[in-house]
Structure 1
Amino acid sequence: MAKKSVTTRTGRFMKLAGMTASVAGRYASEKVRSSFSSDDEKEDRRSKTYDKMANDIVSTLGELKGAVMKVGQIASQTQDFLPKEFSSALQKLQKEAPPMDFSLIRQQIKDELGAEPEAIFDTFDQEPYAAASIGQVHRAKTKDGREVIVKVQYPGVDKSCDSDLKQLRMTLKLGGLLKIPKESVDQLFQEILERLHEELDYQNEATNIKRFQEFHKDDEGLIIPTVLDELSTRRILTMELVEGDHLSELDRSIYTQDVINLIGHRIFTTMADQLFKFQCIHGDPHAGNFAFRPDGTVIMYDFGCVKQLKPEIVTAYKAALNAGIGKDYKLLDKRLIELGVRVEGKPALDEGYYAMWRDIFITPFEHKDEIYDFAQASLHTKVASKAPTVFKHLDSFKPPVESLFIDRLIAGHYWMMKNLGVQAAFRNELEAYLK
C-alpha cells in the first residue's frame, strides 16, 4: 500500500525533517568525538558515520520517491560533490522502486484523461511494468489494438518538488557532506531543480522524444519509442511498447562478443553525436533507460531529463580534450579556464597534476588500433584513489553545470560499456569527433 508521506506535503516534510535531524546529529556527535581521537581513529569513525548517514538518507529517499529520490539517483552517478561512502548506498536508488497502490494510479489517470483506465484502454495491467522515482509504467492495449506503455506520474510529486529539494540540500549541508564551493552548490541545485521541473512535465518529455527521434532518424539500430499524443498529458505519457533485454538480463549465449561490440559502438556514437553534433544530451544515462536486442539494436527510454548545451561550452570542451590528448598541459590549463572549469586568476596548476588525470582518462583511447576490454576497466577505482587530490585544489576549480552533466553522461556510458563487456578501439572515432 502507498504511504501517506508520498502524497501529502506535511507527511513528506516531517519524514525529511526527521532524516535531516538524524544526519545532523550524527555529524555533530562525530565532530566532538574526533577532537579526542587519533588520525586513524578519526578516519575509521568518519567512514562508519558516513555509512550510517547514507543508509538513513537512502532509506528515506526510496520511501518518498519524487524529487529527492531522483536527486539521489543523480548523485549516485555524479559523485564529485559527496563522500565516496555514499556512492554504493545511493546506487540502491537506481534499482526499481516499490510500486504505488493502483487506486492512486487509477485516480491520476481519471483526473488527467477524463475516465478510468478500463474505459479508455482495451486492456490495462494493474501490476506495474516498471516503477521509478517520479512515476510508474503500466502495460496496456489501446482500443484500436496497439500495444503501449503508460507512464503515470505519482500524485503530488510536482507540488512537493521545491520543498523536497530544499530539505535535501539542508540535510547534506548539516551533515557536512557537500564538498564543493557554495556557489557551485547553488548552481548545481538550481540546475537540478530546473531539470526536475522539466522532467515532471510529460508534455515536455514528449517534445524531447520527437526532437531526439528526428536527430537520430537515420541511425541504424537505434530505436526511440513513439508518443501517442491523444493519450498523453502533463502527468500521463503513453508510448508504443518497444521491448528489449535489459543489461542485467542478457543471455551471453545469444549476445555474442560481436553483438556486444556492435552495441558498444552504437552506444559510443549515439553519445558522441548528441554531445558534439546535436549539442543536446540524454540527461539520465543509467542502464535502466536502455534495452538491447540480439541483432545489436539499442533502445533508448526516458527523455524527461535532457540538457541543451551552449555551443561555446561544446567548443571549449573539445579544445580541452585535444590539449589533454596532446599532452600540452599549459594549453590545457588555458582551455579549462575558457571552459569555465578552472578559476581565472588563480595560479596555474602543476603540469604533473594534469598529466596524472590525463593518463587515467586516456586509457580506453590510448592506442589507435589496440582493442580495449571495458570489462577489465578500472578507471573508476583509479579516479576514487585520486579523489583526495581534488579537494586540495577546490579553490582553483569551479566547474560549470554543463560540464557536470557531460561528466554524468560519460560516466553513465562508461558503466554500461563495462557491464556489457565491450571490446573496442574508439581512438580514431574520438579524434574524428574532436576535429
Structure 2
Amino acid sequence: MSKPTLGESKSPGGRKQQTQAPASRTKRFLKLAGMTASVAGNYAADRVRRRFSEPDNHEERQRQAYNKMANQIADTLGELKGAVMKVGQIASQTQDFLPKEFSEALQRLQKEAPPMAYSVIEKQIINELGAAPEELFEHFDSEPYAAASIGQVHRARTREGKEVIVKIQYPGVDKSVNSDLKQLKLTLKLGGLLKLPKESVDQLFNEIRERLNEELDYENEARNIKAFVKFHKKDKGLIIPKVVESLSSRRVLTMECVEGDHISEVTTEKYPQETINLIGQRLFRTMADQLFKFQAIHGDPHAGNFAFRPDGTVIMYDFGCVKKLKTEIVDAYKKALVAALNEDYGALDHYLIDLGVRIEDKPSVDEDYYAMWRDIFIVPFADRDLHYDFAEANLHKQVASKASTIFKYMESFRPPVESIFIDRMIAGHYWMMKRLGVQAAFRRELECYLELDA
C-alpha cells in the first residue's frame, strides 16, 4: 500500500538531506536577483545576436536561448524551494503565459525534493506545538515520509495509539512569498518571457499569491478539510483523512493516516476494468460536485494527491490549495459549456467575456476558431452511451498541435484568472483518467450538472 502523500512527492528514499533550513529572505533575494540579472543579460545578448543573424536562424536561436534561461530558472527555483518552486510547479502545467521550453524545464520541479534534516523539523515542531516530537507522540519517525517544495511529511503515532501523518512546513517559507513572487515576476519580465499585458500579469500573480498564502496556512487547510469532509459525507467510496486538531497549528498539520495505492499501482492485474471505471466515475462526480454544487474546488489535483483501493475507494489528500468560486463565474462557466455543446459560438463568445477570458473591446473571434477547439474537447463527451477509452486519449497532443493558432487572436484573450484553477482541476483529472485507463461515458452526467439551477 502506498503512503498518503498530502500533496508531497514520493518518499525521499535515502536521498541526501538538506542540512540547513531554507535560505533566509536576504539570501533568497540575492539568489533570485542573481538569476534575474543573468536571465536579463542572456535575453539582451540574444536580441543582439538575432539582429545580426540570418532570419532563417531566428527561431532556432530563440529556442536555444529559451532553453538556457529555462534551465537556469528551474535550477534556481528547485534549490530555493518555497513559494517560487511551487509557482514553478504550477507554471509547468500550463503554457498560457510562458513559452513551452519553460513548461518543459519546470516539469523537473514536480519531482522529488531533497528532505530537510530532522533537526530543522524538530525545531519547527517545538516552535509550533511547544514540545519535542518524542514528548507529543508515542512514536515519531525521524526519517521523512515525503518531501516537497514547502514542507515535508513524517509518520507518527499519537499517545492514544492512532496512526497519523504529520506535515511540517519549512521555517521561513511563508515569510518569503511576496518577495519571492515579486522577484520571479521581474525575472520573467526582463527575460521577455511573459506573453501578456501588464494588467493580466499582475492579476495572474495576485491570484497565485492568494492561493499560496492560503496553502501556507495549515489552520486554513484544516478548515478546508472540515468543509470538504462535511460536503462529501454521504459520498460512498470517497475518503478524506480528518485532522487531529490538538496536534496541529499554523505550520504543523497532523492527520489520520489513511492509505491506498498510488496511481502507478492501479493496474489491470490488481484492479478489474470495472473497478477502474468505477474509480473514474467517482473522480468525475467528485470534480463536478465541487465545481457546480459546492463552488469550491480542490486546486492541486495531481496524482500524488489521490490514492485508491481495490474496492474502488478514492482517497483525497491535501486541501491547502482550494479555490472558492464566485457564483457568477460558475454560472458563466456552465453557460459557456452549454453553448459549446450546442455549437452556439455567438453565445460562447458572450460567456467567455463574462468569465473574463475574452476582452470585450478587442477584435471579434472567428467562429471557426471556437469550432476547432470545441471539436477537440468534445471527444470524450461526444456519445451519450458509447464508452470513451481515456487510455487512448490524445487531447493533449491535439491541443499542442494547435498552439500556434493562439497567436492569431492573442489580443482578444487574457489568462483566465478567475477560472485558472478550474482549468487546472480539469486538466489534472484528465491525466488521472488517462493514467488509470478509465472507460466511461460521461455525457449524460455532464448534461445533468449543466441543467442545475437552469
Tell me the TM-score range normalised by the shorter chain. Answer: over 0.9
Deviations 1:107-166 (A, max 9, x none): 000111111101111111111111111110000000110000000000010111111111
Measured in 2, the distance between the counterparts of 1:260 and 1:52 equals 41
Alignment size in residue pairs: 435
Matched ranges for 1:136-285 at <5 A: 136-285=152-301
1:20 pairs with 2:25: no
**CA deviation string 1:309-345 (max 9, x = no partner):** 0001111111111111111111211222222221112
Q: What secondary structure is seen at the aligned counterpart in 1 of 2:204?
A: helix
Question: Residues 242 and 56 of structure 1: is their aligned pair in 2 closer, same or farther, counting only changes over 3 Å?
Answer: same
The residue matched to 1:23 in structure 2 has which SS? helix
Conserved 8 A contact 2:122-2:133:
yes
Q: Which amino acid in the other structure matches residue 185 of structure 2?
A: R
Q: Which amino acid aligns with 1:345?
A: D
Q: Is this contact kept in 2: 1:6–1:63, CA < 8 A?
A: no
CA offsets 1:350-374 (integer angstroms, 9 cap, x no match): 1111111111111111111121111
Give 1:287's aligned residue.
303
Q: Supply the AA of the counterpart residue of 1:18.
A: G
Kindly indicate whether residue 107 of structure 2 is the aligned counterpart of residue 91 of structure 1.
yes
CA distance in 2, matches of 1:224, 1:407: 23
Equivalent residue for 1:357, pick from 362, 366, 373: 373
Which residue of structure 1 lines up, in the alignment, with residue 94 of structure 2? 78
Structure 1 residues 46 and 4, CA gap change in structure 2 (3 angstroms): farther
Give the TM-score normalised by the residue count of structure 2: 0.93
Q: C-alpha separation between the residues in 1 aligned to 2:358 and 2:83?
A: 30
**Among residues 76, 96, 99, which one is paired with 1:60 in the alignment?**
76
Match of 1:48 among 21, 44, 64: 64
Partner of 2:138: 122
Partner residue of 2:429 out of 393, 406, 413: 413
Given that 2:21 and 2:170 are in contact with CA atoms closer than 8 Å, whether structure 1 keeps it comes out as no
- The one-letter code sitting in structure 2 at the alignment partner of 1:54 is A
Q: 1:391 aligns with which of 407, 414, 419?
A: 407
Kept after mapping to 2: 8 A contact 1:360/1:382: yes
2:329 to 313, 332, 337: 313
Asked if structure 1 preserves the Cα contact closer than 8 Å seen for 2:166 and 2:253, the reply is yes
Amino acid at match of 1:340: G
2:279 matched to 1:297? no
Contact 1:340 1:398 in 2 (8 A): yes
User: SS of the residue aligned with 1:321?
Assistant: helix
> Offset at 1:258?
1.7
Instruction: Output the CA distance in 2 between the equivalents of 1:112 and 1:82.
Output: 38
| TM superposition shift of 1:17 | 1.6
CA distance in 1 between partners of 2:232 and 2:189 (Å) = 41
Give the partner amino acid of 1:382: Q
Q: Per the alignment, in what secondary structure is the counterpart of residue 253 of structure 1? A: coil
> Are the structure 2 counterparts of residues 398 and 247 from structure 1 closer, same or farther at C-alpha, using a change threshold of 3 Å?
same
Q: Which ranges of structure 2 fall in alignment gaps of 5 or more residues?
A: 1-16
Q: Which amino acid aligns with 1:229?
A: E
Instruction: Kindly state the Cα deviation for residue 94 of structure 1 after the two structures are TM-superposed.
Output: 1.5
SS at match of 2:155: strand
More helix by share: 1
CA distance in 2, matches of 1:165, 1:307: 19
Please list the CA deviations of residues 402-433 of structure 1 after superposition, one character each: whole Å capped at 9, or x if unmatched. 21111111111111111111111111111111
Distance in 1 of aligned mates of 2:152 and 2:54:
49
Task: Give the RMSD, CA atoms, in angstroms.
Answer: 1.4
Normalising by structure 1, we get a TM-score of 0.97
Does 1:35 pair with 2:56?
no
Change (3 A) 1:306 1:106: same
Partners of 2:233 and 2:53 in 1: CA distance: 61
Q: Give the 3-state SS of the residue equivalent to 2:53 in structure 1.
A: coil
2:126 and 2:205 mapped to 1: Cα distance?
Answer: 33
Contact 1:320 1:335 in 2 (8 A): yes
Opposite residue 434 of structure 2, the aligned amino acid is K
> Following the alignment from structure 1 to structure 2, what is the Cα–Cα distance between the partners of residues 337 and 155?
42
The 2-side partners of 1:36 and 1:424 are apart by: 55
1:368 paired to 2:384: yes
Distance 2:417 2:54 in 1: 38
Distance in 2 between the 1:56 and 1:322 partners?
A: 43
Could you say which residue in structure 2 is the equivalent of 1:338?
354
Q: Is the 8 A contact 2:276 2:438 kept in 1?
A: yes
User: Could you list the runs of 4 or more consecutive aligned residues of structure 1 that deviate by over 4 angstroms after TM superposition?
Assistant: none
* SS at 2:156 equivalent: strand
8 Å CA contact 2:241, 2:317 repeated in 1: yes
Conserved in 2, the CA contact under 8 Å of 1:5 and 1:12?
no
Structure 2 Cα separation of the partners of residues 307 and 251 of structure 1: 32
1:391 Cα offset (Å): 2.4
For the 8 Å contact 1:7–1:155, the answer to whether it is kept is no
Distance 2:301 2:345 in 1: 30
Number of the residue aligned with 1:424? 440
Q: Which consecutive unaligned segments of at least 5 residues does structure 1 have?
A: none
Aligned partners of 2:265, 2:76: CA distance in 1, in Å?
Answer: 29
**In 1, are the aligned partners of 2:292 and 2:330 still within 8 Å (CA)?**
yes
Give deviations 1:169-217, integer Å, cap 9, x for gaps. 1111111111122111101101111111111110000000000001111
Query: Deviation of residue 233 (structure 1)?
Result: 0.4
